[in-house]
Amino acid sequence: MTGFDLETVDRLLSTTRAVRKRLDLERPVDRSTILECIELSQQAPTAHDSQTWRWIVIDDQKLKDALSESFSVALPTIEKMRAHASTERENRFWDSVEFLTANLARVPVLVIPCVQVSPEERKLGGPATVYGSIFPAIWSFQLALRSRGLGSCLTTQHLMQKKKCDQLLGLPQDVEQIALLPVAYTQGTDFKSTKRPPPETITTFNGWTL
Ligand SMILES: Cc1cc2nc3c(=O)[nH]c(=O)nc-3n(C[C@H](O)[C@H](O)[C@H](O)COP(=O)(O)O)c2cc1C
């Protein structure tokens, strides 16, 4: 016996979705709730236990407005990609991306996970160790939000204006921002698992035989 309630754990793992249209833009989010979720994320693994994760939490409206401008720069690209959408599911997806892009500044809190890595360390481990030391924590953070009635969406589109955003945030040279997570309570909590291909179609044993 592990002591885990598997039904609950599996539901958390399989229903933590990218939330955009169902973010509650009106309900405030306490800083203490964000810190609680960051604390849980700190149990995630990092390369050689570097613990180089850094988080910037933005609840200042002027800064949210400025970041949202950079986020919107992706809109023409989004529209071009949307032109290839052929299914209802794809159209729903692009609707939701456009909604978030138009409303980012209204989301109560924006969270930017970063890594602080020296040039030597970067050389030593390469990108897999740099990015691999933050993405597990990002996902833990998102799971912790979900279990508390909040939601988020891992986004990277503001990085089209990475330099400008680095300046806005006052990032030092050795700190790299990795993503932007709009965080809010969700409207309802009844998210569902989504259809993915059976694991056997993406897995081989003892070598590549796909
Ligand atoms: C590396 C990465 C970058 C992403 N960038 C964006 C983004 O810029 N904007 C956005 O709306 N969603 C972004 N997403 C979210 C994905 O679109 C989302 O995971 C996908 O729609 C699947 O949704 P689901 O996780 O609910 O199944 C990103 C996800 C990942 C992993």
Percent of the chain with pLDDT over 90: 92
**Which of 130, 156, 160 is the best mutation target for the ligand 1 pocket, counting ligand atoms within 8 Å of the beta carbon and taking the most?**
156
Locate the domains of the chain by residue range: 17-190
CB 14 near ligand 1, within 6 Å: no
Query: How far apart, in whole angstroms, are the C-alpha atoms of residue 17 and residue 195?
Result: 12
Any ligand 1 atom below 6 A from CB of 134: no
| Ramachandran category for residue 89: left, alpha or beta (phi over 0 → left; psi -120 to 50 → alpha) | alpha
N residues, the chain: 210
Question: Per CATH, is 17-190 categorized as 3.40.109.10?
Answer: yes
**Distance from residue 17's CA to the centre of ligand 1 (Å):** 9
Q: Which secondary-structure segment (H or E) carries 111?
A: strand 109-116
Q: What is the pLDDT of residues 123-169, one digit of tens each?
A: 887 889 999 999 999 999 999 999 999 999 999 999 999 999 999 99
59, 108 contact by CB (below 8 A): yes
Please state the rounded mean pLDDT for residues 93-119.
96
Reported as a single tens digit per residue, the pLDDT across 48-60 is 899 999 999 999 9
Contacts of 204 (CB under 8 A, 6+ apart): 210
User: Residue 155 C-alpha to ligand 1 middle, in angstroms?
Assistant: 6
Q: Name the 3-class secondary structure at 149.
A: coil
206 C-alpha vs ligand 1 centroid, how far in Å? 31
> Which residue in this structure is represented by tokens 């949210």?
64
pLDDT in tens, 26-77: 999 999 999 999 999 999 999 989 999 999 999 999 999 999 999 999 999 9
109-116/150-151 β-pairing = unpaired
Task: Round to whole Å and give the CA distance between 200 and 198.
Answer: 5
- Inter-residue contact 179 to 112 (CB < 8 Å): yes
Q: Which residue owns the Cα nearest ligand 1 atom 6?
A: 155
